[in-house]
Amino acid sequence: MLRWSGWFVGGVALAVMPWLVGAAFPAQQRYILHILVFTGLFAALALSYDLVVGHVGSLSLAHPAFFGIGAYAAALLATRAGWPFLAGLTAALVCAGLAALLIGVPAFRLAEHSFAIGTLGFALVTHVVVTNWVEFTRGPLCVTGIPRPVIGVGALSLRITTVPHYYWLALTALALVALLYRGLTTFRLGRAFNAVRDDEALAATAGINPLKYRMLSFVIGAALAGGIGALYAHYITVLCPEELTIALTVNLLVILFLGGVGSLRGVVLGAVLFTALPEILRVAPTWRLVIYGLLLLLMVIKWPEGLDAALRRAGRRPRA
């Protein structure tokens, strides 16, 4: 009962956030919602990454490439071929998923660390191609004029134009990704994924095909990243190759380890902290990044297993 009412209140609060923010900080509504859109997209992207890193234990460094493939697929299809938003979004999901399937076949032949290096290579190559294939991607000139998304057709169509609209779109995307994440990582599927992560040989004696499960999480994670890339491209409307750099992997890893690898609540919390903290710290502009770095360092020292584990321990203590 308590659980459900908590979810309900939280859900309603998130849904009416634009008005709450508008009432509390009228002058900064757009800015705060803009940060929240980024938070939502980052949280969804981190969840898609955690499917691979946290649940089958494959340290893939290729996630920015899948994000970028999706973003470019949607951006180019919308600007050059005039594809509607939902068609482009679907294409982004499919392209990124297919890319993962193609790169996964050779990469999963490599053991742990070599797998990380192999996927890193793919990420770097993708970045180089996007930067230099100027005729196709416009390279450093960036894809510009990506249209605002329109969902549906004719009289029933929904135009996403204002920041609150984008906020609801990002929130919906996050909710869908979180639902899928939960479905995949708990109960029987989650058990099989985690078995592969904990001990591959033992998983095989349990009748689990380790490669199949690693591939499944890798492809689903990549497809989701591609979809989020499409949303991102349609939000910022200008897409440059810099979005695909390895810095994104570092950010995602920080979110995962800050919040707690393999935990839905932890990863979302990590994403919130990661995107909100630097903005809150704008009150001290000169020292902002120094304080931010120190805070991250402190959190990692104080809660090495992540915020989720720390919260769970704190929640248990009074009852025990």
Partner 1 sequence: MTPLFEVRGLTKRFLGITAVDGVDLALERGELVSLIGPNGSGKTTFFNCVTGFLPVDGGRVFFRGGEITGAPPYRIARLGIARTFQIVSVFARLTVLENLLVFLQQHQEENFAGRLLRSRRIHRLEDQALERARSLLALVGLARVPTTLAGTLSYGQRKLLAFAAALMPEPELILLDEPTAAVNPTMINQMKELILALHRLGKTVLLVEHNMDVVMDISQRVVVLDHGQKIAEGPPQAIRRDPRVLEAYFGR
| Binding residues for partner 1 (CB under 8 A) | 183-184, 187-189, 191-192, 194-195, 197-199, 201-210, 262
Q: Give whole-number Cα distances, 41 to 58, 131, 267, in Å.
A: 22, 24, 12
CB of 169 to partner 1, least distance (A): 24
Query: Which of residues 164 and 259 has its CB atom nearest to partner 1 in the complex?
Result: 259
From 167, 211, 220, select the one nearest 47 (Cα to Cα): 220
Helix ranges restricted to H, the chain: 2-15, 17-24, 29-53, 63-80, 85-107, 112-132, 134-137, 163-185, 187-198, 200-205, 210-236, 247-259, 264-280, 288-302, 307-316
CB atoms within 10 A of CB 318: 6
d(CA 27, CA 267) in angstroms, rounded, equals: 30
Minimum distance, C-beta of residue 207 to partner 1, in the bound complex (Å): 3
* Nearer residue to partner 1 within complex by CB, 112 or 199: 199
**Shortest reach from residue 264's CB to partner 1, in Å:** 15
Identify which of residues 13 and 105 has a Cβ nearer to partner 1 in the complex.
Answer: 105
The amino acid present at 251, given as its one-letter code, is: N
CB of 65 to partner 1, least distance (A): 26
Q: What φ, ψ does residue 111 adopt, rounded to 5°?
A: -80, 160
Tokens for 23, please give them: 């009432």
**Minimum CB–partner distance for residue 192 and partner 1 (Å):** 6
Q: Minimum distance from CB of 202 to partner 1 (Å)?
A: 5
Choose between 205 and 286: whose C-beta lies nearer to partner 1.
205
* Cβ-based nearer residue to partner 1, 204 or 276: 204
DSSP assignments along 222-234, one per residue: HHHHHHHHHHHHH
Closer Cβ to partner 1, 73 or 203, answer by number? 203
